[in-house]
């Protein structure tokens, strides 16, 4: 007989978790196809064509509206923490555009017959607490009865059009700065396998619930040319999109990239997500790897990051100010990880 007193593991109700459940990049490209041919209004200054983190609508010469949405299945079993992570991740796309969030709408899909109301309330409370901390209250939303737990936000923000950051603005001569360590996907896979330490779990939650607030002030520093956030397609996937959008080449120093040490150890022990292989298949042809490239490297550099860090391209003489700005916002692991050159693709050294 089933023991109904056992605690419900949210992650057991989902086939994937966090940004690791995003569509395969190749499948997504095939589904989206080419341009629709519909004439776009001049006010829509950024749309999906540049693979940016959000769409942007110019309201007037002083204000542009940034709009994005993000939702996923549970990456952790604690419902309130799941809500916090999902909300932090959704708001990240607003910050990646250099904008300040103003309000949100909740997207909720829950297996009502499987989850008790108090767990669903805890998920919503977690998301609400993060949105309010960002100064962007949840003003409404939509809910459905779904086969798997799904939670996320529509996030809206504003930015001066002249301070808008796109992922397509990187310039040869820039340096690349990453705001958070990578390895969240490996952590999430280890958690499902009961192989993640208490310290690793604490590091995972601290990182995924840390808002990317540095993004809102980056453009004001001067010399910041592009930004994106590293999420489901991994560091190489989102870096490749930045290079493609800007028509440049990136050179990444693997030793400089912040990596959670436990994630590195777990990857060496065979822990990985299914998404890392798909991510590598999507970008590997455009990546030049060193002689000592290994399967562990492939796992880490293509590891899907849930609520990952900002990736910033800036002039070398602005780098110290950008790093100091990150530290002021509690992102102490931010580091220079590479440079931008003329050309195309990504080189790892």
pLDDT of residue 50: 75
Judged by average pLDDT, the poorest of 4-8, 101-105, 111-115, 265-269 is 4-8
Give the pLDDT mean for 320-341: 98
* Domain extent at residue 176: 165-348
pTM summary value:
0.92
Q: How confident is the model at residue 104 (pLDDT cuts 50, 70, 90)?
A: very high
Helix or strand run (H / E) with residue 190:
helix 184-192
Residues 321 and 344 in one domain: yes
Beta pairing, strands 150-159 & 100-110: antiparallel
Structure tokens of 166?
Answer: 């796109």
Number of domains in the chain: 2
Residue 55 is part of a domain; what is its CATH number?
3.30.1330.10
Residue 118, domain member (yes or no): yes
- HSE at residue 301, side-chain half, CA atoms within 13 A, is 29
Rounded Cα–Cα distance for residues 47 and 57 (Å):
9
Residue 3, domain member (yes or no): no
Q: How confident is the model at residue 44 (pLDDT cuts 50, 70, 90)?
A: very high
Structure tokens of 313?
Answer: 């391209």
- Per-residue pLDDT of 50-67, as tens digits, reads 778 899 999 999 999 999
* pLDDT surpasses 50 at 251: yes
- The mean predicted confidence, pLDDT, of the chain is 92
* pLDDT surpasses 80 at 19: no
Residues 80 and 169 in one domain: no
pLDDT of residue 39: 76
pLDDT of residue 1: 32
* pLDDT surpasses 50 at 328: yes
Rounded Cα–Cα distance for residues 97 and 172 (Å):
20
Asked if 19 is an active-site residue, the reply is: yes
């Amino acid at each position: 007989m089933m023991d109904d007193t056992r605690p419900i593991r949210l992650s057991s109700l989902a086939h994937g978790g966090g940004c690791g459940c995003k569509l395969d990049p190749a499948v997504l490209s095939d589904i989206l196809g080419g341009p629709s041919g519909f004439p776009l209004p001049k006010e829509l200054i950024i749309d999906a064509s540049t693979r940016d983190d959000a769409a942007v609508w110019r309201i007037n010469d002083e204000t542009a509206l940034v709009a994005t949405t993000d939702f996923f299945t549970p990456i952790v079993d604690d419902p309130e923490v799941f809500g916090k992570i999902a909300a932090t991740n959704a708001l990240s796309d607003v910050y990646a555009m250099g904008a300040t969030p103003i309000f949100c709408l909740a997207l909720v899909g829950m297996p009502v017959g499987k989850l008790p109301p108090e767990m669903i309330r805890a998920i919503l409370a977690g998301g609400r607490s993060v949105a309010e901390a960002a100064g962007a209250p949840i003003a409404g939303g939509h809910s459905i009865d779904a086969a798997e737990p799904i939670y996320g936000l529509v996030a809206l923000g504003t930015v001066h059009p002249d301070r808008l950051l796109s992922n397509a603005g990187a310039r040869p001569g820039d340096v690349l700065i990453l705001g958070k360590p990578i390895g969240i996907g490996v952590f999430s896979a280890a958690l499902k396998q009961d192989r993640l330490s208490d310290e690793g779990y604490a590091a995972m939650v601290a990182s995924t619930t840390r808002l990317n607030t540095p993004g809102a002030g980056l453009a004001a520093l001067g010399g910041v040319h592009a930004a994106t956030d590293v999420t489901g397609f991994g560091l190489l996937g989102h870096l490749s999109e930045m290079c493609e959008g800007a028509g440049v080449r990136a050179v990444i120093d693997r030793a400089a990239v912040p990596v959670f040490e436990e994630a590195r150890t777990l990857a060496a022990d065979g822990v990985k997500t299914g998404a890392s292989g798909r991510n590598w298949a999507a970008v590997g042809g455009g990546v030049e790897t060193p002689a000592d490239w290994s399967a562990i490297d492939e796992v880490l550099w293509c590891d899907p990051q849930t609520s990952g860090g900002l990736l910033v391209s800036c002039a070398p003489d602005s780098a110290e100010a950008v790093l100091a700005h990150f530290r002021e916002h509690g992102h102490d692991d931010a580091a220079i990880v590479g440079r931008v050159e003329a050309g195309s693709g990504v080189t790892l050294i």
